[in-house]
Each structure stands twice: as C-alpha cells, then as structure tokens.
Structure 1
Amino acid sequence: MTRRDFGMLCNSTPQTALRGIAQPYRFWGLKIFTPLALRFQDFQRLSRSFIPVLEKQGGGAIVNLLSVLSLASMAGVAGYSASKAALFSATQAMRTELKTKNISVHGVFPGPIDTDMAKGLDMPKTSAQVTAENIVAGIIADQEDIFPDPTSLQVSEVWAKNPKALERQFVGM
C-alpha cells in the first residue's frame, strides 16, 4: 500500500508531547527541548507529502486529531497544549489554502478517550470506538471542527461563548 491508495490523511501527535513546555525528553538518545517544533515539522512534512496526491485524485480530506487542550492550556501539559494549539492554527490556515483544491480540512477536538494515554486521568472517558464513529460522522457531515464526545461538546460550548472562561476553567483543574 502506498500513499496513493488514500483519499484522506489523518494527523496525530504522539504521547511524547505530554510534557511541560520547557521540559526536555529523550528520543533515540537525544535530549530534545522543543516538542512543539518537532510536532509541527512532522505535521508539515506529512501534509506536504500527501497534498499533491489528494490534488491528483480531485480532492480529499485532511483530518487533524487535536484535543480540547488545543483551545486552552492545562497545568502539567503545557507542551502538549501548545503543540496542539499550533496544529489548530495550522489546520485553520490549511482550510483557507486548500478549499479551492477540493480538499477539506477537519480539526478534531476530543476530550479524554479511554486509551493508555488517559489511563491515569480520574474523569469520564469516551471509548475509542464511539470517538472514531463520531469523527467519521463529522467528516461525512462536512463539519470543519469536530467535537466527538460529551466532554468535548461541553468544552466547545464554553469556548464558543467565552474562550477566557474556558482558560480559567482549565487553570482550576
């Protein structure tokens, strides 16, 4: 299977970004201080690679798996929030650039999903299956911003009315 077999590209950020904004982490023995830059560069490389393929096919979709933490940061995961916020901004920019090429760009903002990444979180989590089904439904409905679970729907309502209120809410968590 090659990249020409796909009509959709789904971008995600690995769990290694779950660190404070200035906290280093190790990758293949290298000390890395810039998870934000790495995530963004990976995103750019992957997107640049697939956009010409989608264009040749007459269009398609790019789905960026972000997080409710793209909308406001929470203590302890500042690096993750910052990298997801940068990808949210890039998602918005890509929409503008790619709309005329019949390529839709969707941002997905899940809350906690019942996976290993959220294992230690003491809060309601949505199953990966339900989250995936809601993402696909959002793409089919041509929703640009997809909030695929109850937590993300609640967060989106606060954010739509008052982004600063969401920021204050997340600070208190």
Structure 2
Amino acid sequence: MDIKGAVALVTGANRGIGRAFARALIEHGASKVYAGARNPEAVQDQDLTPLRLDVTNAEDVAAAAAAAGDVTIVINNAGIGSGVGLFEGPFDGAREAMEVNYFGTWAVSRAFAPVLARNGGGALVNMLSVASWRGAPPFPGYAASKAAQWSLTDSLRQALKEQGTLVVGVHAGFVDTDLSAWLDAPKITAEDVAEQTMQALGNNWAEVLADEPTKYVKSVLSQSLNEAPNS
C-alpha cells in the first residue's frame, strides 16, 4: 500500500518503537499520525496528533475509533514485559502482559477493523517478537503473551482478507529501548524495525523478520524437537 497521504494510528507512540513507527510514517509521507498513549501529554512531537488510548480500557478504545475515523493504517505497538519468573513470583505481571499485549491488540483491532473497511481496507500492523515462537524462561509471561498475539495476528489476517486489509506481523529480537535497557546483548534499533515495517507496507508483505536471531528461529520452526538445535 502507499504510505504517502495515509492516515495512521500508532499505539504506545510516546516512546521507543512506537515513536519510531510514528516518525517513520511521517517521513514516508503520511498526512496524519495519531499517537496513541495513556498520557497524551507525553507525546512531544509537534507533527503528531496525540490521542488518549489505554488499550486495556474499553471506553478509551471506543472513543479512539470514533475520533480517528479517517485511519487507513493501524499499528498495534503498545506492549509491556511481564516481570515474573518461571518458578517464582505472583502471576500479576503475566496477567497484565496478556491484558496489554494480547487483549489490548485484540480490542484495538476489533474496534478499527470496520474503520479500515470503510476507508478501503488499509493495513493492520502488529508488533510481535521472536518470543512469539520461542519460550523464554526468564520472562515466560511476556513470551506467552506474544505467542498469543501471533496467533491472533494470523486469525486477523484470515478474517480481514475479504475486506482488503493487509495484516503485517513484525518480529524482532531485542530492540534498543527502555524495555531492554537492563540487558547486555546485541540489539536492533527501533528505527531499523520501523523502517523495515515501512518497506513491508510499501511492498504488501505480511511479515517482517527484523534481525538475524529472528530469521534463524523462524527457519527452524518446521524441524522436529528431536532434530532442532537448541536456540
């Protein structure tokens, strides 16, 4: 699809990958970008349109869909980590991760599907993770929420095909944001993830594999667990 002249909504757009998505859309010629955030005042970019949007709040989601009725691209980026270990700690963080990463994406997608249909189909982009396909003992709640979000993305792709909506799943390993600041490991930049996503939109691609670890994990998914190397 053509990004130039498009109207977009990005959730969690006040920082990190969300802000990079919003900036990339503007740079590629989007005419308007709604920057969804729990606190709209946190959106400092003057060429973005702040929009109050807590993806776990049904009233916020409904109000956003009503206010942004001109949207042709929706990027579900809002997400959190889980902060719970596999064998210790309360499940509260894991439940919150599922509420934001999975149910939040579902709620926004459900609310904006008819908006996209009215505006010609457009595109729906979900920010996923290599953790969608690989368990993560240090943060199992986050990984489970991303696996659920990937399954949801596949369901949305099938369901929205008839109305002409391109559904894009964006997968990456560690991205250099506040969420991964604690980790000393190779990371891709948020700007790189955003630019690859713009290329996917422009070429009508359904999937972005943003870095080498993600490409590797995807490549071995078809192997039997008895054959696949540890990764």
Provide TM-score, normalisation by structure 1.
Answer: 0.81
How much identity, in percent, do the aligned residues show?
29
Report the Cα distance in structure 2 between the residues aligned to 1:95 and 1:34, rounded to whole angstroms.
25
Distance 1:169 1:18, change over 3 A: farther
- SS, match of residue 124 in structure 2: strand
Higher relative contact order at CA 8 Å, sep ≥6: structure 1 or structure 2? 1
How do residues 5-84 of structure 1 correspond to structure 2 at under 5 angstroms? 5-20=70-85, 23-25=90-92, 34-35=95-96, 37-39=98-100, 40-84=102-146
Q: Provide runs of 4+ in structure 1 moved above 4 Å.
A: 165-168
Report the Cα distance in structure 2 between the residues aligned to 1:54 and 1:84, rounded to whole angstroms.
24
> What is the CA-CA distance between 1:18 and the residue it aligns to?
4.5
Residue ranges of structure 2 left out of the alignment (5+ in a row): 1-48, 50-66
Partner of 1:28: none
Mapped contact 2:83–2:94 kept (Cα < 8 A) = no
The two structures, once aligned, show a CA RMSD in angstroms of 2.5
Residue ranges of structure 1 left out of the alignment (5+ in a row): 26-31
How do residues 68-147 of structure 1 correspond to structure 2 at under 5 angstroms? 68-147=130-209
Amino acid aligned to 1:92: D
Report the Cα distance in structure 2 between the residues aligned to 1:119 and 1:55, rounded to whole angstroms.
39
Distance 1:49 1:140, change over 3 A: same
- SS, match of residue 100 in structure 1: coil
Partner of 1:154: 216
Provide TM-score, normalisation by structure 2.
Answer: 0.63
Aligned residues: 163
- SS, match of residue 69 in structure 1: helix
